[in-house]
Amino acid sequence: GDSVTQMEGPVTLSEEAFLTINCTYTATGYPSLFWYVQYPGEGLQLLLKATKADDKGSNKGFEATYRKETTSFHLEKGSVQVSDSAVYFCAAKAAGNKLTFGGGTRVLVKP
Amino acid sequence: DVKVTQSSRYLVKRTGEKVFLECVQDMDHENMFWYRQDPGLGLRLIYFSYDVKMKEKGDIPEGYSVSREKKERFSLILESASTNQTSMYLCASSDPGTEVREQYFGPGTRLTVT
């Protein structure tokens, strides 16, 4: 079946540092790929998405590029803020309506 | 904006009790989902529904059932709660008419079974 693997956290950074969260997937065909973010005490919000190879999703300074050759969708941000402290989930949607999620990566940004 | 609401943010129940978790969405979405979220395991799909009175088992349906009598409402039922069902429960909805079919999530219900 489909699976998504992302780096375990927690990731602790200082403000203005560079953030990378690795995500790789296995799926039938060419899935749509997503990054969701969960702020403390809240549900998940869609952060960005990409639907085909070489697409780049971007939002709020975050970026991720759909790499078919490495089956990856790594999340990056050049300069993090304290407000970026959250749990980040990578997800893949192959055929059908179901999403497969990674285990989540907790990010803590210190001032 | 799509809004998905869940009936309770926090819930404490005793072992053996029947528990109902309610979810309502206001965007006329056909698809609705129930997940549980546990540290290190990410989100795991319990049940989903494509339409009223339709349901499909997800990856971990054991110990749960669901009900979808109206399009906007999707209920998760724990027939006899057990301590291993202590978790965060998240409801989501999506529109099958869109290509990407991204899911919109509610705020979650943190259930503790004692």
CA nearest neighbour of B89 among B62, B113, B67, B108: B108
A17 to chain B nearest CA, in Å? Answer: 25
Looking at every residue in chain B, the average pLDDT score rounds to 92
Specify the pLDDT at position B71.
Answer: 94
Of the pLDDT bands very low, low, confident and very high (cuts 50, 70, 90), residue A27 is confident
> Is B105 close to A43, i.e. CB distance below 8 A?
yes
- Tell me the three state secondary structure of residue B85: helix
Find the mean pLDDT for residues A46-75. 95
- State mean pLDDT over B29-44: 90
Mean pLDDT of B40-50: 90
In angstroms, the CA B1 to CA A8 distance is 32
By C-alpha distance, the chain B residue nearest A10 is: B40
CB pair distance less than 8 Å for B50 and A97? yes
Residue B95: per-residue pLDDT: 82
Asked whether residue B92 carries a pLDDT value surpassing 80, the answer given is: yes
Using the predicted structure, report yes or no on whether residue A95 has a pLDDT greater than 80. Answer: no
Look at residue B65 in the predicted model and tell me its pLDDT: 97
Q: Which residues in chain A have their CB less than 8 angstroms from residue B42's CB?
A: 4, 89, 101-104
With a pLDDT cut of 70, the percent of chain B lying above it is 94
Strands (DSSP E) found in B7-85? 10-13, 19-25, 31-38, 42-49, 56-57, 64-70, 73-78
Q: What was the pLDDT predicted at A1?
A: 75
pLDDT of residue B100: 59
What CA–CA distances, in Å, run from A81 to A84, B2, B37? 5, 27, 26
Mean pLDDT of chain A: 92
Q: Report DSSP state, residue B83.
A: G
Contacts of A105 in chain B (CB under 8 A): none
